[in-house]
Structure 1
């Protein structure tokens, strides 16, 4: 286990030479993304941060940005409006960033929520939670990969379900869009998104040894997303407010601890050797090695292998998931 005291000690070493100089946060207007931005800016280091969110979040985001830049004038926080559940808009945002930057040091992805209603598609015909939890994220990764390769120690952090994977025998590889009757559900869509994140990031890590990939399972954090999965003002949303959200608050990490833990993931040489120097035993990638690759990180910041499931996933499902991903994303790459 990585002790929280060691995490905080590592984060105090973040400075202009170890902080990500250019960071892109997709989903940083609330929850873990916002908490991590706040922790990064609080280090006092110079960073240029792209904050991407929906138009409905713009006013709240600008208040947040003003607070950040008052706390640390060396930080530059740039707002880009984007409805990233739409893959065309995700691509547009990436094009804006690529027109302005020659490299990206950190790509931090947190979009998504747990659905508790029926299956719902975006206007592009993709189930919305799969779009947010997987496909939109992969647009950002693949579009910005050339800029990540140009950085000295680039890192991609996808916060969802690191280490939580379905066995290939539990996945309908002929229905990765979850279109068959009865195939969709809140747990099923979350698990499929998490599994596809792991499979694709594992493949991309093997092809891009200069980039560190992290798939994080954050545990319980009070992000407010629990209620988002219900119809506003419905009796289910009311029950979530009355019972589910207080339960989450009881068992959750504090906002500060969640931000510090994810800042550590984003900056420490514990994962892959780049970033803030780490003394002692480091984390291992999905092949059990102390080198760059994909790191499956649990809520205690430990690296988990789940080697049996991952090996079966590589053997039986990764190429099918990758082919499906390419088919869906082809117009947006």
Structure 2
């Protein structure tokens, strides 16, 4: 496990306590079953922002804490454990992109609003069903962006979009030239197709910066997946310890003990990869490689853990009464966001010169 300083440990503990008490899994179920179309609970997001979580990557001069990527990852992991619906990943990545970008006006206008939770940001990259950053068709001419993005998380709630175009990264405000159509995916979260028709755009950086943004999105998404995998392991272990079959507690069966031991080792390796990615971001060393390793390992382990959790719970694992199925559905969406394992292994090989 990563070695945390006192402030990071306090932040992790605060996030863990708040998520368990104020935004448990039942909060997600209530949001899902209400079918209001809202992607997240606005009051819960304001509470998160009030604790400073939205501004972790916002410089202090713009109202944030600039607390670093490890801190952001700790919060995202704890929220992942309870399957909390929030725009924190998109907001955090957008804040970094704007802070690193070319526009001082965008920094002054949008960073304080992101840190306070007033503005929601979404990342608009992929134009088709598969992650293919090398096949971007959106173009900017005379400061106007035209193109479509097929799968944008929190598109309906976003006030600004960080958009990957053929020549780099651009900021587009929702309004003139922007239309959003909702999409329904397996995880029942807020997704949408966004069409830009000569929408006014502000340049943030070149294509290299767009790739840097994607590496950060991969690592933070892997943090959410780590929280989900850890929760599935813990709840499955608790179930095996209390479920009785053939007059024996399931946890006493050696075959099941072996399976849980294997899963424990898999999650340990996943944690090492994800925390290694966060440390790479904070130290700015070999970030592209670390991002590939973190997200690919998260994809593989969460896929395995979600399948095993269903099976080890038996028939009830497939019912809506138990939360396991919600984790599996969310897992399948996240596994393909910002790159499948095959895509990331190919990218890692390319970075190594193969």
Q: Give the helix-richer structure, 1 or 2.
A: 2
Normalising by the smaller structure, the TM-score range is: under 0.3
Q: Give the strand-richer structure, 1 or 2.
A: 2
How high is the TM-score relative to the length of structure 2?
Answer: 0.25
